Each structure stands twice: as structure tokens, then as C-alpha cells.
Amino acid sequence: METVISNVIHTFENSSPKINCEMFFFCRNDKMDKAWLKEIKYAQSFSNIKLSFLRRAKHVYNFSQWLKETSPDIVICIDVISCLYANKARKKSGKQFAIFSWPHFSLDHKKHAECITYADYHLAISSGIKEQMMARGISAQNISVVYNPVSIKTIIVPPPERDKPAVFLYVGRLKFEGQKRVKDLFDGLARTTGEWQLHIIGDGSDFEKCQAYSRELGIEQRVIWYGWQSAPWQVVQQK
């Protein structure tokens, strides 16, 4: 997701000097990996208040202040709860702009999925997500299926030699369950006979939980962690 967002922002800004893109994050702490935000202007709202309505109120206030300073023409929300924040902050700031949702996860596996209806328009990365939006009462006229941009590569990753351990590769966001279900991958590999290795490239809110589960299953010595990488296929080739 980070790569897609970064590429889209740089493409917009390189296409015209009049286009200015900024990001705003709603955070509980400052643990987010910011390596991918190089050359991207961003701001953050921090709140670790346990009561959700107070935490949301602080985020909405901080975002409304940012809206007053920046006066955006369009706000694109990359998760569902941000649609709610943006809608409330728009009213609070008195600014006029269009709100787009651009979710990168299945709505059927997302908490507060109903919050997506607070956006005015919607960008779906698959026809399946479009159907999930429509199932929540959103008109098809307000949904555009845009898919995800990809860069064509000629790199071929060779398979391991027959006398070497089997090598498995996971590249993506680390979610223990939910849509990604790294837990299932670990459970399957823990039952696999023979020699094998699992290489994991990616980061996420469940990074430490996934590491702990690998230790619980006794497979931690076979799992190699690389964290988030800006050029994952270069890492694969080197390893």
C-alpha cells in the first residue's frame, strides 16, 4: 500500500507544478515506519486516549485545524475510519472539498466498515470491493474501479536447487489474522516436514505479534525478517 500511495503522489506532483499532495495520519503512537515518506510532506495527529469517542474527538479537532491551514480541494481517505474523521472535520473547519475513500482492504474484514459511507465518492481497487461498497448502500455511480498500479519487471527469481531447503517468500503487510492471515501461513509451515525457510518482507501493526507466534510454534529459527523494504525484489535477488 505504501508503494502505491508513494507512486501516485510522485506521479501527480511530477505531472504538474500546480499539484501539491500532503498526507495526514491519525496515530496512537510514533512507531510508524516513515522510510517510505521520503520527499512526501505529511502531518500527524497523536492520541492514545482509551475512550474511543474522546480519541476520535481529538483527531477530528486536529484534522480540522490542519484543513483550515491547507485548504485542500480533495481529501482521499485510505482507511474507513478516516472517512468519518474527514467528514466531521470538514463540518468543523467550514471548508468545502470532496472526500474520496480509497480502501486497500476487504470491507468484510474491516472494523467500522460502515464508516466508508461518510465519503462522497469512492475508489475501489477491485470489482469485489465495489460490490462490498454497494452492499453498504453506496450508489454505483459514485464508485470508480481503479485497480492498483503496477510496474512491469523483467526480473526472474530462480527457484531453489533441489538439494537445498524449500524457500517460501511473503511480501506484504503483516496482519496476524483478518485479510492477510499470516497466522495461517505459520500454522501450515509448522506442520510441514522437511527443511524449509520463510523470508518475510513487510511491516505492520501485528509485526511483534507475528514474531511471538513464530516462537510459540518453535519455527522462529526458520523465519527471516527483513521489515519494510523500498525495493523488495532487490532484497530477494540478493538472498
CATH of the domain at 234: 3.40.50.2000
Domain-located, residue 204: yes
What pLDDT score was predicted for residue 43? 94
pTM to 2 decimals?
0.73
Domain-located, residue 141: yes
Domain-located, residue 150: no
pLDDT tens digits, one per residue of 103-128: 988 898 778 999 999 999 999 999 99
Domain-located, residue 79: yes
- Contacts of residue 105, defined as CB under 8 A and 6 or more positions apart, other chains included, come to 79, 178, 179
pLDDT tens digits, one per residue of 30-46: 887 788 888 899 999 99
If DSSP codes are grouped into helix, strand and coil, which group holds residue 60? helix
d(CA 239, CA 236): 5
Domain-located, residue 159: no
Among residues 111, 145, 179, which one ends one of the domains?
Answer: 145
What pLDDT score was predicted for residue 187? 96
d(CA 143, CA 100): 9
- Contacts of residue 16, defined as CB under 8 A and 6 or more positions apart, other chains included, come to none
pLDDT tens digits, one per residue of 166-184: 999 999 889 888 777 899 9
Q: Are residues 171 and 232 in the same domain?
A: yes
- Contacts of residue 29, defined as CB under 8 A and 6 or more positions apart, other chains included, come to 46, 48
Q: Are residues 201 and 114 in the same domain?
A: no
Q: What is the largest CA-CA distance in the chain?
A: 67
Residue where the block lists cell 510454534: 217
d(CA 157, CA 161): 12
- Domains in the chain, number: 2
What pLDDT score was predicted for residue 196? 93
Judged against a pLDDT cut of 80, whether residue 156 lies above it is answered with no
Using DSSP, how many helices (H) and how many strands (E) does the chain show?
A: 7, 9
123 touches 146 (CB < 8 A): yes
| Higher local confidence (pLDDT), 176 or 200 | 200
Q: What cell numbers appear for 210 in the block?
A: 507475528
- Of 156, 213, 154, the C-alpha closest to 188 is 213
Domain-located, residue 26: yes
Judged against a pLDDT cut of 80, whether residue 152 lies above it is answered with no
13 touches 21 (CB < 8 A): yes
Q: Are residues 7 and 112 in the same domain?
A: yes
Q: Are residues 131 and 222 in the same domain?
A: no
Domain-located, residue 218: yes
Domain-located, residue 151: no
Q: Are residues 41 and 113 in the same domain?
A: yes
d(CA 92, CA 101): 19
Q: Are residues 110 and 188 in the same domain?
A: no
Q: Are residues 87 and 132 in the same domain?
A: yes
Containing domain of residue 199, as a range?
Answer: 166-238
What rounded mean pLDDT belongs to the chain?
A: 91
Q: Are residues 21 and 129 in the same domain?
A: yes
Q: Are residues 135 and 178 in the same domain?
A: no
User: How many CA within 13 A on the CB side of residue 216?
Assistant: 9
Q: What is the mean pLDDT of residues 56-71?
A: 97
How would DSSP label each residue in 67-84? HHHH--SEEEESSHHHHH
Among residues 145, 176, 192, which one ends one of the domains?
Answer: 145
Return the amino acid letter for 207. F
151 touches 120 (CB < 8 A): no
Calculate what percentage of the chain has a pLDDT beyond 90. Answer: 63
What pLDDT score was predicted for residue 214? 96
If DSSP codes are grouped into helix, strand and coil, which group holds residue 166? strand
Q: Are residues 122 and 225 in the same domain?
A: no
Q: Are residues 72 and 180 in the same domain?
A: no
